[in-house]
């Protein structure tokens, strides 16, 4: 059974940092691109970033370039999202998801990040 479990969310002050983790099981992690997608409260889905199988190619939505960094550790079946200089508008549920081709076929349950003073 494919499982993706996010962790690391919580309450952080504006300007602070958080590192999200996503541990996966049930598939060959090192063979798949991975992605982070977020959803602000009551809002739609927003693609954040993705990373290739080896961690060599990384892409970000423009509004997060320079503040967010995606990485992975294939030995630990994990993908990460380092978030710096957090803003109130970064408050959202953050999902990690697995690529199959050009679509996201499995998603985690999400972790809530709240940026507030």
Partner 1 sequence: QSALTQPRSVSGSPGQSVAISCTGTSSDVGGYNYVSWYQQHPGKAPKLMIYDVSKRPSGVPDRFSGSKSGNTASLTISGLQAEDEADYYCCSYAGNPYVFGTGTKVTVL
The distance of closest approach from Cβ of residue 75 to partner 1 in the complex, given in angstroms and rounded to an integer, is 25
Three-state DSSP at 97 gives strand
- Does residue 101 interact with partner 1 by CB under 8 A? yes
Which residues are within 8 A (CB) of 113 and not within 5 positions of it... i.e. 6 or more apart? Answer: 9, 10, 12, 18, 20, 83, 86, 90, 91, 92, 93, 94
Closest to partner 1 by CB, 15 or 67: 67
Nearest-CA neighbor of 99 among 59, 69, 44?
59
**Region near partner 1 per CB under 8 A, out of 18-26, 54-62, 74-82, 83-91:** 54-62
Pick from 22, 29, 50, 68: which binds partner 1 (CB under 8 A)? 50
Residues that bind partner 1 (CB under 8 A): 35, 37, 44-47, 50, 59-62, 95, 100-105, 107-110
């Amino acid at each position: 059974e494919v499982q993706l479990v996010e962790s690391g969310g919580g309450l952080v002050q504006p300007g602070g940092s958080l590192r999200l983790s996503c541990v996966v099981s049930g598939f060959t992690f090192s063979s798949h691109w991975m992605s982070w997608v977020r959803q602000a409260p009551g809002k739609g889905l927003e693609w954040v970033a993705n990373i290739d199988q080896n961690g060599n190619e990384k892409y970000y939505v423009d509004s997060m370039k320079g503040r967010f960094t995606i990485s992975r550790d294939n030995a630990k079946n994990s993908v990460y999202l380092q978030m710096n200089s957090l803003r109130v508008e970064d408050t959202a549920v953050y999902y990690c998801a697995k690529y199959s081709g050009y679509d996201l076929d499995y998603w985690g349950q999400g972790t809530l990040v709240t940026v507030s003073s």
